[in-house]
Amino acid sequence: MNKRDVYLNASEVLSAPLSNKTSSVVSTIEDESVAFKSFREEINCSDFTSILSYFDAVLYPLFKKLNLSASDLAKTNLFLGSTSLDISAVKVGDEDKLWLSKTDKISQALAKRYGLNELEFTFSTACTASANACLYASRLISTGKIEHALVIGCEFYNPLTVEGFKSLDLISKTELIAFAKGRSGLILGEGVAALYLSSTPTAQCSLKMLGGASSCDTYSLTMTQEDGSHIAQVINDCLLQANIQSTDIDLIKVHGTATLGNDEAECNALTTLFNTSEITQSPPPIIAFKPFTGHTLGACGVIEIALFADCLSKESYIPPEYITQNNDLMWPFYKGNDFSQVNTVLFNYFGFGGNNAALVFQCYRGTE
């Protein structure tokens, strides 16, 4: 069976504070008022109806950008990825509602609200949730099972998430500095983003998905193996599925949470995969978004793809010096190619509990 290509035809991002729309990651570097490094008190997601309004701010511009008709939307399947879903709308102390809340409540509400196909999917695999949503959406498109996919990542403030990470001593008291020697943990973030995937590119198309892989590491209940072996295997599986070699990668979007174990595992995997001690050419450069957006958990997959697509459309990239300071782990990867020559990009995502995912995209410039 001949598989169809999968294209990212449009994307939109809304990141915390949710009242501020980001047009580019570059703006978060220049304007500290939208450098989202933490949850903001003015974000009120305690009401389910108010949660839906945040999706409106992302999806209506997306639909308008692609000029989607009601008929187009009816042929579009929804793939939603999130860690906490609508738990922020469950009242404190209402334990019955907490445990009886349906995991597909948001996806069902969104499908009905926008007239999408009734077959919708929800993914909640920790920090890989929306990356897995993107992976499975692309597989169904490539095999001809669906025509279009609306892939959404969302994460909203809720005390359970904050207290959970605090109890594990994973939240930094200063800032998120991925791979730095003095890194002290992550900063949480919230946001909503959407990707529109199809088998045919439009004029707005920015990326073509080449492949991806996802797998669960059974090493620990809470973390992946620090030697990076499982991460390296997932990336290898991703490259195999995309029919490319590691030498074809021009840029790596790192997961980069700035937690001690996660950064070490990712560094070990990439160092092994690109064999930095033996190769004569420089390994591909890396970029990280979490220092600017915060760690948006289950939403980070879609948010970071959408932000990269936005950077690509504006021909602007995050320079390496903005990623970290006093780096002690990933230094070989900062000496890479000119970002303007980027063609093939590896996106890494590693989830709490050991679910790891990797995706590969090719920059689409109107020709194959």
Triad 224, 229, 230: Cα angle to 5°: 55
pTM for this structure? 0.89
Element (H, E) at 191: strand 191-198
What lies within 8 Å, CB to CB, of 115 at 6+ separation is: 70, 73, 74
Residue 142 lies in a domain: yes
The CATH number that applies at residue 238 is 3.40.47.10
Q: Which residue has the tokens 């973390």?
A: 223
What lies within 8 Å, CB to CB, of 227 at 6+ separation is: 265, 268
Task: Locate 327 and state its tokens.
Answer: 């780096």
The whole-angstrom separation of Cα 82 and Cα 96 is: 21
Residue 315 lies in a domain: yes
β-bridge pairing 148-155 and 121-123: unpaired
| Helix, strand, or coil (residue 229) | helix
Q: For the chain, how many structural domains are there in total?
A: 1
Amino acid at 189: G
The whole-angstrom separation of Cα 155 and Cα 178 is: 21
pLDDT tens, position by position, for the chain (368 residues)? 678 999 999 999 876 543 333 333 333 333 333 333 333 444 455 567 777 888 998 999 999 999 999 999 999 999 999 998 877 666 655 555 555 567 888 999 999 999 999 999 999 999 999 999 999 999 999 999 999 999 999 998 777 788 888 888 888 887 888 888 888 888 888 889 999 999 999 998 999 999 999 999 888 777 778 899 999 999 999 999 999 999 999 999 999 998 889 999 999 999 999 875 555 567 888 888 888 888 999 999 999 999 999 888 877 766 555 554 545 677 667 655 456 678 999 999 999 888 999 999 999 977 65
Domain span at residue 266?
Answer: 6-363
Q: Which residue has the tokens 């194959």?
A: 368
Q: Contact at 8 Å (CB) between 303 and 13?
A: yes
Of 215, 223, 239, 210, the residue nearest 132 (C-alpha): 215
Residue 197 lies in a domain: yes
Q: Contact at 8 Å (CB) between 194 and 11?
A: yes
Q: Contact at 8 Å (CB) between 174 and 191?
A: no
| Helix, strand, or coil (residue 193) | strand
Element (H, E) at 167: helix 159-167
Task: Locate 238 and state its tokens.
Answer: 């991703």
Residue 368 lies in a domain: no
The whole-angstrom separation of Cα 59 and Cα 277 is: 46
β-partners of residue 56 are none
Residue 1 lies in a domain: no
Residue 329 lies in a domain: yes
Q: Dihedral through CA 307, CA 292, CA 31, CA 250, nearest 10?
A: -50
DSSP character at residue 86? T
Q: Contact at 8 Å (CB) between 213 and 238?
A: yes
Task: Locate 182 and state its tokens.
Answer: 């003095």
